[in-house]
Each structure stands twice: as structure tokens, then as C-alpha cells.
Structure 1
Amino acid sequence: MSTSPTVLAVAAAATHEFSKLPRTEIRLLEGLGVEGDAHAGQTVKHRSRVRVDPTQPNLRQVHLIGAELHEELLRAGFDIGPAALGENITTQGLDLHALPVGSRLRLGSSAVVELTGLRNPCGQIEAFRPGLLAQVLSRTRDGTLIRKAGVMGVVIAGGVVRPGDAISVSLPALPHRLLDRV
């Protein structure tokens, strides 16, 4: 496995399905998200968020999951591959959850995604595979909830993203804020 962060897979879905469809490439559109994806737009597109306030800014334009989660799930008996959990971009060699809010990921030659927070795993994950929700949620010794179902971001600069593309990370200015659910 490469030690340099890379894009392992990309995916999109035009409808609100749980899993997305693997693609050979996706196009990120500045301020909108993944071209042709049901979650693209300046305002929220996740159905539960739309019901609450459809005018909220869309902080969940792009969903990223590390392949390391897929490996962890496989060890727990869940054979889950890229796009199955609804992510647009599967990364490899990058601890997404350790990055602070505002981290910018350059994907390939021009696309840039700024991290806004954590995906909040919900009952859809349990409906997809019974027992899976417990695998993507855990608690620290002090009871703090840990969400491991990926991170969310917004598109700062558009461009095409393909499997094999390099990922570089730019951290925001200090002080850093931990990712929290968005």
C-alpha cells in the first residue's frame, strides 16, 4: 500500500440512494459538489436536512471515506467496498478523521475540497447491513461519541477527480477545531 495519500475510488448517484455508483471519474463543481450527484447544490440536499430548513447552506457537498474504514469493517465481518456507504471519494493513506475543520484536500491537478465536518451515521446504515451502525460508532473511555462513517466537505475549486489521483493536504491556521457532525 502506498504511503502517499491517493484517491482509491470515485462515485456519484443522481438519485437519493444509500450507495453510489462507482465511476471512472467525477467532476467537482466549485460551490456545488459532484456534478450529477443528488447531493450537489448550494443549499442542503440531504432529505432530513431539507425537511428542517431547505435554505441551509450545503456543508455536505462531497462525502469522503478512507479505505482504512473498509479494511476495519472487513475485519469485523462486513465486506463493504468503495461507494457502498454513499461516499463520493474513497481515499487511501490519509486519516481523514484526524484532520481539523477547514483542512483543504487537493485532489488531482485542480480540485480542492474543504472539510466541514463528520458524517453522522444514521439508521440507514443499519438498514443497509444489520450490525453495521455499531461498527461506525464507538465511544472513548470518557463516553465521547466517535463517528467513523466519513467526512464531509465543500468544493472550493472544481476539477476532475479519478482513482489514482494524488491527495495533498493544507491545514487551516491555528487554532484547529476538531471535526464534528454536520
Structure 2
Amino acid sequence: MAKVVSINISDKKGVVKTPINEGEFIEDYGLKDDAHAGKWHRQVSLLAKESIDKMTALGVMDLSFGKFAENITTEGIVLYTLPVGTKLKIGRTIHEVTQIGKECHTGCAIKNKVGQCIMPKEGIFTRVITGGRIKAGDIIEIINED
């Protein structure tokens, strides 16, 4: 079963995010008070704990949740295999996958330390379709629209 393991926030771009108990996700905007929120296609970023574990296996230490600037850290779902357009129910919210991966910004601390970063290949971005609160432990489901 897929679930949320952490909600993470920052008030400016290009920095590590800090875990919070729960977040308010606003329809067509993103995580309230997060620097990456706004009226665009990358309102919320998600990264799997399994992806972070791959970096730990390469010898990168101290990879607490939010270190890759992800808003939602997940477990039990292979995010980067979800097609763009997939809808996810996260807690009571609904998100639509809008992008898989991204270009790493210049000076990425993780990339500089180990020569690679997983966010560009395994992180995903969503747009908030239905807002609400999300907290660690909330279930993540793929919505089938057949």
C-alpha cells in the first residue's frame, strides 16, 4: 500500500525543505506557504523514499526527508513510472501528474557531493485538482478513470 511518509516545505526556492506535521494543499496552487506553489504545472513535487534509499546506498549520508526539495515523500509507489495525466488521491486531495523528472539546477548540493541526483529522473510533479490537508500516513491511490 502506498502512503505519505513526510510533508516538506520551504519559503524559498533552491533550498532543502523542512518536514512539517501536515500541509494544506490548495486547489490549482500547491502547498500553502511553499516557495514552489503557484499557478503553474509544477505545484507539488513528490519523491519516493525508495529513491532516497538508492542515494543512501551510494554512500550519501544524512538524507532526511525534504533534502531533495520534495514536498511529499512517498513509500510503496514507483512514481516515475506513472504517465503524465495520472490522477492520484493523496489523503482527501486529488493531484494530476504533470511532469516526470526535471533538470537539476546548477550547484545542486547532492549532485556535487556524489556526482548524481535522483530528483531529475525519479521525482515527479503534480497539479492540485482538489485541495485539502495531507499528513504522514495518508494513503496514496491511483485513480482509474475507466
What TM-score do you get using the length of structure 1 for normalisation? 0.73
Query: 112-121 or 68-77: which moved more?
Result: 112-121
Query: 163-172 or 86-95: which moved more?
Result: 163-172
Determine what percentage of the aligned residue pairs are the same residue: 30
Equivalences for 1:64-143 in 2 at 5 Å? 64-79=46-61, 80-108=63-91, 110-124=92-106, 126-128=108-110, 130-136=112-118
Tell me by how many angstroms 1:129 deviates: 5.0
Tell me by how many angstroms 1:85 deviates: 0.6
Runs of 4 or more off by more than 6 Å in structure 1? none
- Structure 1 residue 27 corresponds to structure 2 residue 24: yes
- Structure 1 residue 161 corresponds to structure 2 residue 134: yes
1:133-176 Cα offsets, whole Å, 9 max, x none, are 52438xxxxxxxxx424000100000100000011112466xxx
* Counterpart for residue 11 of structure 2: 14
Contact 1:123–1:133 (CA<8 Å) still a contact in 2? no
Rounded Cα–Cα distance in structure 2 between residues aligned with 1:116 and 1:9 = 21
| Structure with greater Cα Rg | 1
The alignment yields a C-alpha RMSD, in angstroms, of: 1.9
**Unmatched 5+ stretches in structure 2:** none
Rounded Cα–Cα distance in structure 1 between residues aligned with 2:113 and 2:138 = 33
Query: 98-107 or 113-122: which moved more?
Result: 113-122
Change (3 A) 1:32 1:126: closer
1:107-142 Cα offsets, whole Å, 9 max, x none, are 11x2111100123141446434524452438xxxxx
Rounded Cα–Cα distance in structure 1 between residues aligned with 2:75 and 2:130 = 21
Contact 1:28–1:160 (CA<8 Å) still a contact in 2? yes
Query: Could you say what secondary structure the match of 1:59 adopts?
Result: coil
Rounded Cα–Cα distance in structure 2 between residues aligned with 1:22 and 1:11 = 4
